[in-house]
Amino acid sequence: MKFDRKVSELKSRKVNKVQCLSMYWDVVRRLSFGKGQIKASFGSLPNKDWEKQYDHLFFKNTHLGCCGWLLVIASFMLVVVTFPITLFMCVKIVKEYERAVIFRLGRIMDRKPKGPGLFFVLPCTDTFVKVDLRTVSFDIPPQEILTKDSVTVNVDGVVYFRIQCPISSVANVSNAHHSTRLLAQTTLRNVLGTKNLAELLSDREGISGSMQSLDDATDPWGIQVERVEIKDVKLPHQMQRAMAAEAEAAREARAKIIAAEGEMNASRALKEASLVIAEAPSALQLRYLQTLSSIATEKNSTIIFPLPIDMMKAFIK
């Protein structure tokens, strides 16, 4: 069956029974398994203390005692006698994105939360807690963190989570939202403390993946952490100036390397041209003629003839 497959999967991952039942509470409540089915799947429950601690998460608690049942009967009779006045006190409404966890004389009445829609409570004996199932986001306040390479930075982030199991969020933790906030702060500090500054600035996605360990820690509270993102990383001013100077020096070094490579390529081209001219003297004469042609096109008062001085003496006389 589906529940047996889930149990086998968890046993192969070596998850303890408490975490197993907490993580797959939604499977249990949807399929309405009883205590005997869970005992058959796990072999046996660990002990009576464990049963008392986690019984409210899975099994309908009917151990109200004689006084409890008398109070319930009296409350029901009060509703009947004062009907329809008490109708407004007994009928409650929860919205589509809400669920209601009902307590009867301090005990969780049903393993399945009520809602959405109408539900009935008894006055004096029943109370209920509304739980919002929508995704909630909150900002992690800036944390001063010492990185692995001993650099102090201020980091803040944002967490997206939602309540997956309303009963666990009410019965297992006093304030699920506040506890998740505090746990997110400590988890962010622990994760970033294992990273150096370069990883912190470049590997945001890897850090967000490491922060998903927060989801495992909040499973017993019935909370599913959907996403954790790093918003901003603030460096000290001295570190910012040092990094800016380093980046400028790197740019200057790259510019010098590019200029040197250009000069080297130009020298190589001149060398090849000189070799060609040395092999063919007529190429030099052709170059002379090209130079004269370029001079003639310009308005220059001085004209230089690329001829030997001895040849020019005859024309001077």
Task: Say if domain 136-235 classifies as CATH 3.40.50.1980.
Answer: no
> Distance (Å, rounded) from C-alpha 180 to C-alpha 209?
17
Domain definitions of the chain by residue range: 136-235, 241-316
pTM of the model: 0.57
Which residues lie closer than 8 Å to 208 by C-beta, 6 or more apart?
A: 227, 228, 229, 230
What integer pLDDT is reported at residue 37 of this predicted model? 46
What integer pLDDT is reported at residue 248 of this predicted model? 67
What integer pLDDT is reported at residue 134 of this predicted model? 92
What integer pLDDT is reported at residue 240 of this predicted model? 59
Which residues lie closer than 8 Å to 280 by C-beta, 6 or more apart?
A: none
Of the candidates 124, 97, 98, 126, the residue with the CA atom closest to the CA atom of residue 110: 126
Per-position pLDDT tens, the chain of length 317: 444 555 455 445 444 444 555 544 444 444 434 444 444 444 444 444 444 444 444 444 456 678 878 887 888 888 788 887 777 888 888 899 999 988 888 888 877 888 888 888 888 888 889 999 999 898 888 888 888 877 888 888 888 999 988 988 888 888 888 999 889 888 888 888 888 887 777 777 778 777 778 888 888 888 988 888 888 887 776 665 666 666 667 777 787 788 788 888 888 877 777 777 677 666 666 776 677 677 666 666 666 655 555 655 555 55
CB 160 within 8 A of CB 135: yes
Residue 201 amino acid letter: L
Of the candidates 170, 263, 273, 164, the residue with the CA atom closest to the CA atom of residue 219: 164
